[in-house]
Structure 1
Amino acid sequence: MRLRLRLFEFEDLPWFPAVIRAGMMDYLRFMISALGTYRPIVPLLAEGLARTGQTRVLELGAGAGGGTETVLAALRAHGQPAATILLTDLYPQPTAWADIAQRTEGAITFEPTSVNALAVPTYLTGFRTLFSAFHHFPPEAATAMLRNAVQANTGIGVFEGAGKHWLELLLAWTVLPVAQLLLTPFFRPFRLSRLVFTYLAPLIPLCTIWDGTVSVLRMYPIEELMALARTADPESRFAWQAGKKRHWWGPEVTYLIGWPMSNEQ
């Protein structure tokens, strides 16, 4: 699917209720972690760390931290035993992140203040990543994010947990909503508000269906990802690659990754 529509997502709206956003993020975290969505790109990320001599992953737009523990474990199994992850977001979720930090004994930590992925503070170092969020940024902002990494001379990888297919839209309308209704009582940490806005006033599942549909439609195809990278890096200081990696159970992950050629180890 090459179509890319610039529709809105509820979670992007400043006025969107935080309690609904948190409920949606809890669902995404659970599903991404349970399905191991980003395992296929771990070798790419491990290569980026090795080539830049870095051990810390600086995760931008971390949301509720879904899949982060899986990525960390897989990184350490792919030749990066000292790997750590620092979670950041424009809308921080320290409660959810503190739970992850505790479970990983500090291997995953977090920045409690708001972090703009387009202008990352210089004191936040590491190989930058963005999972399931690059489609939120229009071309100008997406280019600015990549350019900011180039200017900081640090590697960056953006990963989308889909291959941009019509079948993914069908799943977003059928199987995934049912899974959300069945699994919500098992999400941790427990929140009464999550139950209220899932079953009594089902704003969380309805907004999740809309945002999941729009996410696929807003995703950048591979050709556009490379075009954004070339615009952000006109002097070709970085080695860039974009493509898709297929998960063992079928779905794909779309990616763009780059690192400074001058820093390759």
Structure 2
Amino acid sequence: MKRIHLFELEDFSWFPDWLRGCMTRLILVMHKALGTSEQVAELVARVLKESGSSSVIDLCSGSGGPMLDVLHVLNKQPGFEGLKLTLTDLYPNMDAARRINSQEGSNVSYWTNPMDATRIGGETPGLRTMIGSFHHMRPAEARKILESAEKSGQPICIFEISDNGPPIFLWWLALPVSFVICLFITPLVRPLTLRQLVFTYLVPIIPLCFAWDGAASNARTYTLGDMDELLEGLGREGYRWEKGATGGKFNKLYLLGIPARGAAAGDHAAA
């Protein structure tokens, strides 16, 4: 594999929750700037229609991620008005969970118990999504996630905003670039807290962490060739895998696992 498993600060249990929250809000700004929501919505809609699933469970959601915007886009489309979304994370963002779960009549909920993406079983039906998070998994963990989806007959949509295509040395050029980007996009963060401002512009802890994790993310992203290795031996009857790139100025990669319609155990057909 070209992928190299460098560490990301956000992955450590000792990493402060407040700092992790600041980082995930910055990542959400990046997703908005790159048009992630529209591209993911297109993929999700296709997988839901082909598989007959009627709910989405998002893995590694952080503070909510782009799936909230994805759901907003889908809810405007015929047949997806009542689509339900459940957010999960190994380190649940409790502030985001309280905010989301307090909204009456919402079709979005945040699971407040830790959810390990490698241990989700068939008892949790629906389309599984991993947006900008699959690269956090080592190959054995990534393989387990794919095997679990296929074995339980549940669809999965994996989307990465980096393609890990450039030469390795370019990963490190991303460090100063990401540091500067952080300074420019911080005013776009919502909610924008005093702590985020102080530790960005006065004590630049957040830009340093953001820059390192950004470069490490590029190094850890599975290329299309890497995905072929992960998928080796998978693809049973009634379940197919599809991988590809979005193309355009900022190339993004996706991997879809799609069961035949009606084959998703425990789920029911979409409207």
2:47 maps to 48
Deviation of 1:58 after TM superposition, in Å, equals: 0.6
**What amino acid is the match of 1:209?**
A
Deviation at 1:165, TM superposition (A): 3.7
Q: CA RMSD in A?
A: 2.7
8 Å CA contact 1:164–1:216 kept in 2: the answer is yes
| Conserved? CA contact 1:154–1:260, under 8 Å | yes
Counterpart of 1:222, as a letter, is: L
2:244 paired with 1:243: yes
- The alpha-carbon deviation at position 130 of structure 1 amounts to 0.3
| Counterpart code for 2:142 | A
- On the 8 A contact 1:9/1:214 being kept in 2, the answer is yes
The answer (yes or no) to whether the contact 2:87–2:109 under 8 Å persists in 1 is: yes
CA contact (8 A) 1:33 1:66 kept: no
TM-score when normalising by structure 1: 0.86
Q: Which residue matches 1:25?
A: 24
In the alignment, what sits opposite 2:228?
226
SS in 2 for 1:118: helix
Higher mean C-alpha displacement, 47-56 vs 92-101: 92-101
Query: SS of the counterpart of 1:242?
Result: strand
| Residues 168-197 of structure 1: CA deviation (Å, up to 9, x unaligned) | 848843554333213324422243322232
In the TM superposition, what is the alpha-carbon distance from 1:102 to its structure 2 partner? 6.4
Counterpart amino acid of residue 44 in structure 2:
L
Match of 2:107 in 1: 107
Which shows bigger deviation, 47-56 or 86-95? 47-56
TM-score for both structures, normalised by structure 2: 0.84
Q: 1:217 matched to which residue of 2?
A: 219
Q: 1:132 to 1:178 in 2, by over 3 A?
A: same
Partner in structure 2 of residue 14 of structure 1? 13
1:86 aligns with 2:89: no
Tell me whether 1:65 sits opposite 2:67 in the alignment: no
2: CA distance, partners of 1:42 / 1:86: 16
Question: CA separation of 1:103/1:49 partners in 2, compared to 1, >3 Å: closer, same or farther?
Answer: same
Q: 1:196 aligns with which of 183, 194, 198?
A: 198
1:144 positional shift: 0.7
Q: What is the CA–CA distance in structure 1 between the aligned matches of 2:204 and 2:50, rounded to whole Å?
A: 46
Structure 2 CA distance for partners of 1:3 and 1:227, relative to 1, 3 Å: closer
Residue 157 (1) aligns with residue 157 (2): yes
Aligned partner letter, 2:147? R
| TM-aligned CA deviation for residue 201 of structure 1 | 2.3
CA-to-aligned-CA distance 1:83-111 (integer Å, 9 cap, x gap): 22111000001312444566896132211
Mapped to 2, the partners of 1:215 and 1:58 lie a distance apart of: 23
Q: Percent identity?
A: 32
Give 3-state SS (helix, strand or coil) of 1:263's partner: coil
After superposition, the C-alpha distances for 1:4-46 in whole angstroms (9 at most, x for unaligned) are: 2121111112222222222111111222134422422422211
1:241: how far off? 0.3
- Provide the residue aligned with 1:141 in structure 2: 141
Aligned mates of 1:103, 1:188 — CA distance in 2:
18
Q: For residues 122 and 59 of structure 1, what CA distance do their matches in structure 2 show?
A: 15
Partner of 2:2: 3
> What whole-Å deviation, never above 9, does each CA across 1:42-96 have from its counterpart, x for those lacking one?
2221111112222211100111222223211332345433322111000001312
The amino acid across from 1:148 in the alignment is S
Q: Call closer, same or farther: CA 1:68–1:104 in 2, change over 3 Å.
A: farther
Instruction: Using the TM superposition, name which of 147-156 and 193-202 deviates more.
Output: 193-202
Aligned residues: 261
CA shift, 1:148, in A, is: 1.5
Distance in 1, matches of 2:247 and 2:120, equals: 31
Q: Which amino acid aligns with 2:204?
A: P
Unaligned runs of 5+ in 2: 264-268
